[in-house]
Structure 1
Amino acid sequence: MEPVTLLSFAAAFLVFAASPGPDNMTIVARTLSHGPGAGIAYGFGMVVGILAFLVLAAAGLSVVAQEMGAVMTVLRYAGAAYLVWAGIRLWTAEPVLPAERAGSTRPGLAASVLTGLALNLGNPKMPLFYLALLPNVVGAALTPAQVGILAAVILAVEALVIGGHVLLAGRLRHALRTRAAVRRANRVAGGVMVGAGVAVIAAR
């Protein structure tokens, strides 16, 4: 695969990954509410879902996507419902300072991973992205070697995007010094999560 081809794919995927949307909003919200681990966990699930679609693209994405239509819809609504539920809980939660939370039991990260995975497996934009981009960039057929190379590019881009969002949100979180500030941050993060869930439900 030519370097120019890889750079073109990386640039297009960077724009796609860094664009404001439910995933990036949720990473920020989870980091603000539960710390960097929660944001990274959601991002991990998200990346697994993205890579799954890359593998499907190599197997003939248009056919597979049609067969998975109902499953994708269920995953999308389940993930969106969890975001709304978690956002409401965060909005109504008692404020806990980051220093106090550090010594307490951390919330399970599995839910964040599964939510990121479900929302991306149910994301109707992912098949469209691959169907529009891959034939024009790397051709209609993908070899296993090309899948591996593109997966490495995706991982590098997502590490940059997810890491940037987690870093910025983590710094903001550590600046919270009073319960009133934590309550405001919780409500902002909770509202963002509810908004992200609604946006996912409204997506077509």
Structure 2
Amino acid sequence: MSLIDCVSLFAVLVALAALPSTSVVLVVSRAAEGGLRAGAAVTAGIVLGDLVFVALALGGMAVLAQTLGGLFLVVRWLAGLWLIWLGIQLWRRPAADPAPVSPPSRRGLAGGVLAGLALTLADLKAIVFYASLLPLFVDLAQLTPRDLVLVVVIDIVAVGGVKLIYAAAALRIARRLGPKPGLRRVAAGAMVTAGGWLLVRS
């Protein structure tokens, strides 16, 4: 990969990661509720899911995704149900909190990673996207270990960086507004809506 290829791939991934989506909703709502660590946990899950798709695309396994369409349907259903469950838990939480942001437990962080991973893996189109995007920047017929490392690093920095910016912005807004029940319910409603949308699309 040349420097121009790296910069171009980075720019494309940043632009796509910045677009409003269910992953952005999940990162923002978790960060507003549990702080930057909670948003970072979801971001880690999203990046892990992206790296799975990158590996599949670089391995020329886009056909495998079509073969395992039923499995991806199950993952999408699980991701949708998970988001709905998280939204309901957020909605039912007591309105009065002593602090606007409660630090997440280890279990909460693990749940955030799993939620981000499941949400990303539920998007079967991502594999097709990576399979069609990466050949524009990487010669898959002559893929070198250096190219592989570059793609992984670019994906982590671009996608992870954008999602962390969203998380930091959500945390700042939550701290400025304080423990507002209305804000929490908006976030909960967004998560339930995102989960429902995944189920409908399935």
TM-score by length of 1: 0.89
Once the 2 structures are TM-superposed, how far is the Cα of residue 140 of structure 1 from its aligned partner? 3.9
Q: Indicate if the aligned counterparts of 2:44 and 2:116 stay in contact, CA closer than 8 A.
A: yes
- For the 8 Å contact 1:97–1:177, the answer to whether it is kept is no
Structure-2 change in CA distance of 1:168 and 1:140 (3 Å): same
Separation in 2, partners of 1:104, 1:62:
37
Aligned equivalents of 1:103, 1:76: Cα separation in 2 = 28
User: Relative to 1, partners in 2 of residues 1:193 and 1:185: Cα closer, same or farther, differing over 3 Å?
Assistant: same
Q: 1:17/1:100 Cα in 2 relative to 1: closer, same or farther (>3 Å)?
A: closer
Residues 9-20 of structure 1 correspond to what in structure 2 (within 5 A)?
A: 9-20=9-20
Deviation per residue, 1:128-181 (Å, 9 max, x gap): 211221122223433332121111001111232022111111111112335xx2
Residue type matched to 1:159 in 2?
G
CA distance in 1, matches of 2:55, 2:17: 18
- 1:45 maps to 45
What is the DSSP-based 3-state SS (H/G/I as helix, E as strand, rest coil) of the residue aligned with 1:156? helix
Choose from 190, 193, 196 the match for 2:191: 193
Q: Deviations over 1:46-92 (max 9, x none)?
A: 10010011111121122221233222211111011010111122122
Using a 3 Å threshold, how does the CA distance of structure 1 residues 22 and 72 change in structure 2: closer, same or farther? same
Measured in 2, the distance between the counterparts of 1:175 and 1:157 equals 27
* CA distance, structure 2, for counterparts of residue 107 and residue 95 of structure 1: 22
**Identical pairs, percent:** 34
Secondary structure at the residue paired with 1:48? helix
Match of 1:115 in 2: 115
Q: How far is the alpha carbon of 1:102 from its aligned partner?
A: 4.4
Structure 1: tracts of 5 or more residues without a match: none
Q: Which residue of 1 aligns with 2:91?
A: 91
Matches within 5 A, 1:132-147: 132-141=132-141, 142-147=143-148
More deviation, 142-151/112-121: 142-151
Note if contact 2:76-2:123 (Cα within 8 Å) is conserved in structure 1.
Answer: yes
Counterpart in the other structure of 1:59: 59
Q: Which residue of 2 aligns with 1:155?
A: 156
Q: 8 Å contact 1:97–1:176 — kept in the other structure?
A: no
The whole-number CA distance in structure 2 between the counterparts of 1:9 and 1:158 is 11
Distance in 2 between residues matched to 1:105 and 1:49, nearest whole Å: 22
TM-score (norm 2): 0.89
Runs of at least 5 residues in structure 2 that lack an aligned partner in the other structure: none
State the Cα distance separating 1:4 from its structure 2 match.
0.9
How far did 1:190 drift? Answer: 0.1
2: distance between equivalents of 1:72 and 1:85?
Answer: 20
Aligned length: 201
Secondary structure (helix, strand or coil) at the match of 2:20 reads coil
Q: Is the 8 A contact 2:60 2:131 kept in 1?
A: no
Q: Which amino acid aligns with 1:192?
A: A
Provide closer, same or farther for how the CA distance between residues 101 and 39 of structure 1 changes in structure 2, counting only shifts above 3 A.
Answer: closer
Structure 1 residues 150 and 116, CA gap change in structure 2 (3 angstroms): same
Secondary structure of the residue that 2:108 maps to in structure 1?
coil
- The reply on whether 1:125 has 2:163 as its aligned counterpart is no
Distance in 2 (CA, whole Å) between partners of 1:103 and 1:170 is 12
